[in-house]
Structure 1
Amino acid sequence: MNILIVEDDNIQKQNFIKMMQGIKENLTIYEAEDKADALKLSNENSIDIFYIDIFLKNSSGLDLAIDLRKIDKYEFSWIIFLTTHAEYITQAFKEVHCYDYILKPYDKDKLLAISNRIILHSCSKTIIERKYAIFDLKEGIFIKIYVDEIIFIEVNSRTCTIHTKNGIYEIKGISLKRALELINNTAILQSHKSFAVNINFITKIVKLNIKSYELFFEDYEKKALLSYKCKSLIIEKFKTKNPTYRI
């Protein structure tokens, strides 16, 4: 799940992230300090839960939430406000239909209780709505591959090899670009002219030389390549998922 914390106090924000690491689900935590950054991240990614400080730099959290509600995919998304002033919450419930609020300083038990409740509800829906792509394995044979099972994709001489948790599939005559179009998921990112990877399975990034890196994956021996051109995006996503990691 993707979470966005919008908080202009860096100490409070890092404290929040540290507490959220107590959740045993696979979470990607995005960070923003103001309305503009938050809207940019929300448009570029698919956010499942918003945690928004009522008071932000150059704007208010309420204004941000109102703008988020105008975006179709966030019309009914989970919004939780962070505040030191509970008197503003009535307005938040009326204008934004937020789910709940958390008073500062953060109460870890309440934060985890609210978050786990939402995640449990959302994951129960995800089981029904798992995304997949259909590939033409060979003439007359089609295969359904669930996106959350893809570890990485490698293309060599027009043969697309899809490495998954349940096996390896070779599909002839398909480019990496076409494979990514069929999958159409923000977790699967191109890392090299011949590779695309599932950011959720990366466990380690090792520099090979000035132009390339090697990607290691959870419970999987085979490795993928990361080029200098794709380095910034992949490392940024990886570090967001692993806040204590340093290249």
Structure 2
Amino acid sequence: MVNILIVEDDSKQRENIVKMIQGIGENLNVYEAESKEQAIKTLQETYINFFYIDISLKNSSGLELAFEIRKIEKYKFNWIIFVTTHIQYMLHAFKEIHCYDYIIKPYDKDEVIKMTKELIEGSHIHREQEKKDKHVIFDLKNGINIKLNVDEIIFIEVNFRIMTVHTKNASYEVKNLSLNKALEMINCNNIVQSHKSFVVNTNYINKIENISSKVWELNFRYREEKAFLSYKFKDVVMEKFEQHI
């Protein structure tokens, strides 16, 4: 599944480009925002593969939003396509923000569809390559460093300041590391926080069971141990879980 965010403050223009992209018929989700604030909220709640951003936004600019996106570790290299009537901004965008391309208003349907298809194909290739090749190195409590394939991490828990990384084949106690830092190191779309004490790989969840009004129990393939899901992280985890069903 590819997630696209359209950031455009003109509702008619936004509606037009959303319809163009949705008409492609690919396996994708199209999200919308009319301001920098809405866009930031969306990309924090849902991983976005690439962005269409209008240069001129309410109370801000597309360039300012792009700079904010580039400050977020997991979005440093995601594709940004600017939508503009101001061609003079594009040199700055290419040099400072490393945008992928730009589209001149009014939208050319064939151009939007062609570019979107190319980006969707590129997203699939990138994800498959990342899944095969991405590793992370942890410093274990016994003084040994271990290199793990990110895709084999099932979940991570912190209990009395002791972090344990559970993989398909074994569990490892990690030295002096927070969940936030572990998430930053892993930097994987499918591995997200589910609880103040747990980070989980949504690819391996096989059951989510409600055990109280605001807490759910997570069961995994390959492991008997369980993790927890709190109300704060429920929507993000549920969305990713449902994508894998």
Is TM > 0.5 for Structure 1 vs Structure 2? yes
Distance, in Å, in 2 between the alignment partners of 1:120 and 1:100 is 19
**Aligned residues: CA RMSD:** 4.9
Q: Residue 93 of structure 1 is aligned with which of 80, 90, 95?
A: 90
Count the aligned residue pairs: 228
Q: Where does residue 181 of structure 2 map in the other structure?
A: 181
Give me the whole-angstrom Cα distance separating, in 1, the residues matched to 2:90 and 2:16.
23
| C-alpha spacing 1:69/1:92, structure 2 compared with 1 (3 Å) | farther
Call closer, same or farther: CA 1:11–1:127 in 2, change over 3 Å. same
For normalisation by structure 1, the TM-score amounts to: 0.60
CA contact (8 A) 2:135 2:147 kept: no
Distance verdict in 2 for CA 1:56–1:104, change over 3 Å:
farther
Is 1:115 matched up with 2:116?
Answer: no
TM-aligned CA distance change 1:226 to 1:147, over 3 Å: same
Deviation at 1:134, TM superposition (A): 1.5
Deviations 1:215-234 (A, max 9, x none): 355x556542113xxx22x2
- Secondary structure of the 1:167 match is coil
The one-letter code sitting in structure 2 at the alignment partner of 1:162 is V
Matched, 1:151 2:150: no
Cα distance change, pair 16–145 in 1 and its aligned pair in 2 (3 A): farther
The verdict on how the C-alpha distance between 1:48 and 1:180 changes in structure 2, with shifts beyond 3 A counting, is same
Q: CA deviation at 1:209?
A: 2.0
Tell me by how many angstroms 1:152 deviates: 0.9
Q: How does 1:26-41 map to 2 (within 5 A)?
A: 32-39=33-40
- In the alignment, what sits opposite 2:218? 215
- Percent identical pairs in the alignment equals 38
Q: Is the partner of 1:209 in helix, strand or coil?
A: coil
Task: Classify 1:235/1:21 alpha carbon distance in 2 versus 1 (closer, same or farther; 3 Å).
Answer: farther
Q: Deviations over 1:176-205 (max 9, x none)?
A: x64653553455444335432135655664
- For structure 2, the 5+ residue unaligned runs are none
Do the aligned partners of 1:69 and 1:96 also contact (CA within 8 Å) in 2?
Answer: no
Would you say the 8 A contact 2:21–2:113 is kept in 1? no
Match of 2:173 among 171, 174, 180: 171
For residues 16-70 of structure 1, what are the alpha-carbon distances to aligned partners after superposition, in whole Å with 9 as ceiling and x for unaligned? 785688358xx9x7753312333566689986632213554444535544x4588
